[in-house]
Amino acid sequence: MTSAETNARILVVDDEPGVVDYLVDLLRDEGYAVEGTVSPADALARQEGSGYDLVVADVEMPGMRGTDLLEAIHAGHPGRLVLLITAFGSIDLAVEAVRMGACDFVTKPFRGEVLLLAVARALRERQMRREIVRLRGSLAGAAASPDGLVARSRAMRRVVEVAERASRTAATVLLTGESGVGKGCVARFIHDQGPRAAGPFVQVNCAALPGPLVESELFGVRRGAYTDAREDRDGLFVRASGGTLFLDEVAELPIESQPKLLQALESGHVRPVGATREVPADARLVAATNRPLEEALRERRFRPDLYYRLDVIRIEVPPLRDRREDIEPLADVFLARAGSALGRQIVGISVPALRRMLAYDWPGNVRELANVVERAVALSDHDTLVPGDLRLGDDAKREDFLDIAARRWMPLADVERAYVRRVLESVDGNKAEAARILGIDRRTVYRKLDEPEPGPDAGEG
């Protein structure tokens, strides 16, 4: 018997006190944590906030039959295991109980070892279901970047096909699409599939770069070039040499810095701020924008020559509402990831919850889906996500997070992590801006999120 089985919490429900005492002793002797009650109503009340893994209930009880108790438990806790016992065993009743969601069915009179076998089998199958969910998440993400590039839909399969072909060339790629659709995942996919996969992947959010420091960040700086330049420092182009430089939100690049970017792309060399000579910078460029560059051209905020240099291979990443076939596998990836990160054993997503996900338009796209799933995993009172766990649209705005956190007695670290993610979501993932709002430095943001801090060749994600 595994530790997960022996650590299981079991509730016994029978209207006969002697039967309750017998079953409690029998199960405790096997190492289970067991409680008993003679009241179905009490058993139902105990489900709220409990951590029961299995409920063992008699079918024939006054006031509420075991099948009614099963139905009521699953209304609020759809993944909870319920094993039914009856002295009126029949094939029809057994079939009906299993159809309603009972994990197993034992008839009186029974030997103790028969019940113990049924309990162990139910708990073992529960562990197998959890492993299946974990494997589904792994398989769904097998062809994905760490951020969940999933391509079940025809639209995303087309994106992957073009990205694969682009990865084999040195041409500049321009990724377009709404915020949160996964442009960073596609950029990483292009890098990982290409001949530069062994080289660095350096990402920078152009919108997060302070205007006066854009050129020093991109192209480097020499000691003494300005007051705070106390040492020579390579720019991101040089750090990405032999690999890929991903410029996210490239439309936000100051127009005065754009000629130098164009020169770097065309010559393969950059001149650090304060330097008299150029240095080689062999980096493949992938750029992304969630705002049409054509609009920036019309407003004279983007140079036409740089626009045409970037727009060699364009890949439009579709919004999640246009590729609903990807919602379920993406949710599996995020469910497995959040369960592991938060230490929660979530079995899966109920059919009604999945239907709600599929009907929602996801204005925040994949990023919003990831946040919704993580929040649901963190705050759910049961091991299967139900529609009430999902905070979508106006529901998310109305959610009183502190009330939920206090009711669940969440550790302060989890509350802080959830709040940091909420602020990060509101600024489209810009960690520098989130740090400014929170009044902490960017490294603290990474620590609060339990993410590795960026190395010297990492940009703003």
Please spell the DSSP secondary structure of 69-86, one letter per residue.
HHHHHHHH-TT-EEEEEE
Please enumerate in sequence order all residues whose Cβ is within 8 A of that of 155, keeping only pairs 6 or more positions apart, or say none. Answer: 318, 322, 323
pLDDT of 312: 95
State the DSSP H helix or E strand holding residue 36, giving kind and residue range, or none if neither: strand 33-37
Stated pTM of the model: 0.62
pLDDT > 90: percent of the chain: 40
Of residues 154, 119, 136, the one with CA closest to residue 9:
119
Do 156-318 and 322-448 have matching folds? no
If the chain, 461 residues long, is cut into consecutive pieces of 10 residues, what is the mean pLDDT of each piece? 63 93 93 92 82 88 88 79 78 72 82 90 75 55 52 91 93 95 93 94 88 83 71 87 94 92 91 84 94 91 94 96 92 87 80 86 93 89 80 64 61 79 76 82 77 47 39
Report the C-alpha gap between 171 and 168 in whole angstroms. Answer: 9
Radius of gyration of the chain (CA): 28
Q: Is 284 helix (H, G, I), strand (E, B) or coil?
A: strand
Starting at the edge strand that comes first in sequence, how are the strands of the sheet with 33-37 ordered? 33-37, 9-13, 54-58, 81-86, 104-107
Report the C-alpha gap between 367 and 449 in whole angstroms. Answer: 15
Structural domain boundaries in the chain: 3-136, 156-318, 322-448
pLDDT of 456: 43
State the DSSP H helix or E strand holding residue 338, giving kind and residue range, or none if neither: helix 327-342
Please enumerate in sequence order all residues whose Cβ is within 8 A of that of 115, keeping only pairs 6 or more positions apart, or say none. Answer: 23, 26, 56, 85, 106
Residue type present at position 3: S
pLDDT of 181: 93
Residue type present at position 216: S
Task: Count CB atoms within 10 A of the CB of residue 74.
Answer: 19
Torsion of CA 96, 99, 102, 104, to 10 degrees: 80
CB 232 within 8 A of CB 221: yes
CB 317 within 8 A of CB 177: yes
Residues paired with residue 245 on neighbouring β-strands, in sequence order:
202, 285
Task: Count CB atoms within 10 A of the CB of residue 167.
Answer: 20
Q: For domain 156-318, is the CATH number 3.40.50.300?
A: yes
pLDDT of 455: 47
CATH class of 322-448: mainly alpha
pLDDT of 460: 41
Of residues 396, 439, 383, the one with CA closest to residue 416:
439
Tokens of 186: 């596609």
- Per residue in 256-290, pLDDT (tens digit) is 999 999 999 999 998 888 877 888 999 999 999 99
Residues in the chain: 461
State the DSSP H helix or E strand holding residue 400, giving kind and residue range, or none if neither: none
- Per residue in 411-437, pLDDT (tens digit) is 777 778 878 877 887 776 777 778 888
pLDDT of 317: 96
CB 337 within 8 A of CB 366: no
Strand-pair category, 201-205 with 244-248: parallel
Superfamily covering domain 3-136: Response regulator (3.40.50.2300)
pLDDT of 352: 78
